[in-house]
């Protein structure tokens, strides 16, 4: 298990709040005629997003295969920052909102220094 997954989680804490497990991340997926968008390294939950497919490469970007069809969400999307990308066939840029493991929201409280 990654150290980033070992968190103190507060019951009922919504995303983007102190004690939350998830933090929202937005990535603009460029139209495929312009370029495809490599997903920043990390572990994400991907809600279904119209016109967005997930592709992976086993040869550092020379060839790509679709691993999650467009418009279908993924329970976990793990990217190394090189070999996973969004394939966007919308004809224009699409904003994709993901849930990521909370990287450290500022927490306030009695015992903070």
Compute CA 2 distance to the chain's CA centroid, rounded to the nearest angstrom: 16
Residue 85 is predicted with a pLDDT of: 92
Residue 51 lies in a domain: yes
Residue 106 lies in a domain: no
Model-level pTM greater than 0.85? no
> How many distinct structural domains can be found in the chain?
1
What's the pLDDT band for 2 if we cut at 50, 70, 90? very low
81/42 Cα distance (integer angstroms): 8
Name 28's Cβ contacts closer than 8 Å, sequence gap at least 6: 37, 93, 94, 95, 96
Residues 35-85: tens digit of each pLDDT: 778 998 888 888 899 999 999 999 988 899 999 999 898 778 889 999 999
Q: What is the CATH number of the domain that holds 92?
A: 2.60.120
Residue 89 is predicted with a pLDDT of: 87
Domain containing 38 equals 20-101
Residue 90 is predicted with a pLDDT of: 85
Residue 15 lies in a domain: no
């Amino acid at each position: 298990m990654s150290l980033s997954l070992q968190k103190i989680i507060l019951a009922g804490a919504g995303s983007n709040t102190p004690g939350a497990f998830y933090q929202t991340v937005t990535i603009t997926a460029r139209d495929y005629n312009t370029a495809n968008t490599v997903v920043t390294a990390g572990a994400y939950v991907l809600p279904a997003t119209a016109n967005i497919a997930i592709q992976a490469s086993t040869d550092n970007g020379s060839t790509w295969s679709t691993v999650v069809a467009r418009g279908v969400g993924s329970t976990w999307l793990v990217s190394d920052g090189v070999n996973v990308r969004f394939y966007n066939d919308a004809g224009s840029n699409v904003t994709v909102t993901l849930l990521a493991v909370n990287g450290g929201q500022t927490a306030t409280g009695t015992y903070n220094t």
